[in-house]
A = this chain, B = another copy of it.
């Protein structure tokens, strides 16, 4: 469903015209004559507030096979704040067994539908964080409900296999119909894993093996290599490093954490490997005003990558791989240009370092393409692409060159979960039938336009609105203000995420539509207006 509202705008009250890409208060530059304009519905609340006459509004259904999802028409908050008393009570109980400082609220998953999450206090929130970006179709999608009713699928649930050794009879077909059908071009190999962290660390291992294989040539493993590997000593356990970027986040186990530099509480007190860390570009916004500065910034960062590769080779701990997120998520929704990623790949090609793209948060369609790195027009595929979250299963795609030459090299007991593949197969059908990737691009544009408009209206509260499709974000000057916005929004029924130092991150499901964006932008406008008064 795509909504557009049409308004008659009097000459003296003309407002922002989207195609001019600049927000104007009614006092701003006007149009030449009174006319009917088709205003994207993101601005309809403003139009109404400004007293424009609503000429007509219509909804036109698009002819897609997408499933009809029943969900509330708008948020509804019953308690004076979120979390409410029942969530607090459950948190207190859970707190007997574990630290609950990270608990936002307890969820009634049965009553949650589509883009709306219902908490235990009955508050119904528009969810634009979707379980840290891991629910592709929102809550209780009819297709998945249907899948979960089929007894043949439940067999997979209750007999979880050791997938690397005893795959189910239909495993190859499942793979072909699910994960392999979205393999990034050039990456013919794939390994499922349980979670994002394990995907990253297994990707690192594939890189290490390929790197050492290249050094070793056709020589077989020596007994000394095998023996020393068992005792954590070289040559069996070689001194190799993985290069990562400031503000990166790749996961929580030691090898992934060694590449993560987003927040102190992920890291403090934990020994991690001393590996090279390059600066991730810190772009200035609006991008179109800082083209030269940003190019220079990206060049400096790429130069540093080159220098670090050289320095660490000299130090005797050569860089085997570079790991990077197409958009740094946890670290603050930091973007870099396609040229930066192309440059990074060029450096890898020149130096023989493998390139691993961490698409755990960016993969799955939210950016307007299934893989975020498709936006970068790379010369050839990266060597590894990791995934998890919206793909329901963890895992990574990789090149033939990185394929392990023995069994059990990349392995663990469960090594994925075929139940998640069954579900993901149906998620993919919905993505295709519902045109959900195009939707993400479209609604993403609406969100970004809206955020840009609001940041012009509230320059003291919002900065650097940015995004790739619906994966978008905006900065707030301080962490206190950011948290205050998030809390006020939640109390008004819109649930968002934070990231970086003081960023608001939007992680809508792929079922997030134009009218959801309206509600979000309207609520944000009201919130910012309130805060400006304080």
Contact = CB atoms under 8 A, between A and B. Distances in A.
Interface of A: 90, 93-94, 96-110, 112, 117, 120, 131-132, 134-135, 139-141, 144-145, 147-149, 151-152, 154-162, 164-169, 171-172, 175, 180, 188-191, 194-198, 201-202, 204-205, 208-209, 211-213, 221, 225-227, 229-233, 236-241, 246, 251-256, 258, 261-275, 277, 388-389, 392, 403-414, 419, 423
Given A209-B269, A423-B158, A102 B167 contact: no
Report whether over half of chain A's contact residues are helix, strand or loop; otherwise say mixed: loop
Contacts of A96: 188
Given A106-B171, A109-B169, A254-B201, A230 B267 contact: yes
Given A264-B230, A409-B265, A160 B148 contact: no
Nearest to A405: B99
B139 A159 contact: yes
Given A97-B188, A149-B154, A253-B253, A271 B273 contact: yes
Nearest to A244: B232
A366 to B, nearest CB: 15
Contacts of A211: 269
B190 A98 contact: yes
A99 to B, nearest CB: 5
Contact of A252 (B120, B238, B275, B412): B412
Contact of A166 (B117, B144, B407, B409): B117
A274 B412 contact: no
Given A104-B166, A159-B112, A253-B256, A275 B195 contact: no
30 contacts: A97-B189, A99-B407, A102-B407, A102-B411, A103-B164, A107-B167, A109-B159, A112-B159, A132-B165, A134-B413, A140-B155, A140-B158, A149-B151, A158-B423, A194-B198, A195-B198, A197-B198, A229-B264, A232-B275, A237-B271, A237-B272, A238-B269, A238-B271, A240-B271, A252-B410, A254-B258, A254-B273, A265-B408, A266-B408, A389-B413
